Amino acid sequence: MMDITPTDMEVDTNIASMDSVKRKASEPKSKTIHFTSRNPPWTYLKLKLIPQPGNAPQPLDPLSARTYLSSALSQFMGLTGTAIPIDILKLENACPPEEKYDSVWIRVPREDAAAVVGAVSSWIGGGNKSAGAADVAWRISAKGNFLGALIAGSGADLFVP
């Protein structure tokens, strides 16, 4: 039989721990993490404000955009529709050579996206003719659950004033 002293066991343990340190040092330090987001919290929409033929509406401003969106939701779902939270992310006024219509980027909860799409796509707003406003409607240009994928880029240009 072999006699094992406490100091021999300590030496064996130290040798084993040195081997594990060498193995860990040779592994790559950065690891790629992959994840899938199955239920993103938001849906992003890009809406264009389309005037009726022969009418020239005023340039879109935040108050008008909010009013038009609230009117569409109220007309489609009543009081329940007006309770849907909508975040206006960006307004873009038309630049004639590139863009023909004003547009707005909005964010809505994912669960309410179908209701918002139904409301804005079926709404035609009657403008105040005496104030120079025209009949307008919304057209959905883009819809997605991730803003970066929706604008086909990094999303940095969305927040440029």
Neighbour-count burial for 68-91, b at 16+ CB within 10 Å, e otherwise: bbebbbeebbeeebeebebeeeeb
pLDDT at residue 14, rounded to an integer: 52
For residues 103 and 106, give the distance between their C-alpha atoms in angstroms, rounded to a whole number. Answer: 10
Dihedral pair phi/psi, residue 65, rounded to 5°: -60, -45
Closest CA relative to residue 68, chosen from 132, 114, 134: 134
User: Which pLDDT tens digit goes with each residue over 118-150?
Assistant: 999 999 887 555 444 558 899 999 898 888 777
Count of alpha carbons within 13 angstroms of residue 145, beta-carbon side: 10
- Which domain, by its residues, includes 63? 42-145
For residues 92 and 60, give the distance between their C-alpha atoms in angstroms, rounded to a whole number. Answer: 8
Count of domains for the chain: 1
pLDDT at residue 135, rounded to an integer: 85
For 151, which DSSP code? T
Averages of pLDDT over each 10 residues, the chain, 161 residues: 51 51 58 76 93 78 93 94 94 78 94 95 74 75 83 61 59
Give a yes or no: residue 120 inside a domain: yes
Give a yes or no: residue 150 inside a domain: no
pLDDT at residue 26, rounded to an integer: 57
pLDDT at residue 99, rounded to an integer: 72
Give a yes or no: residue 151 inside a domain: no
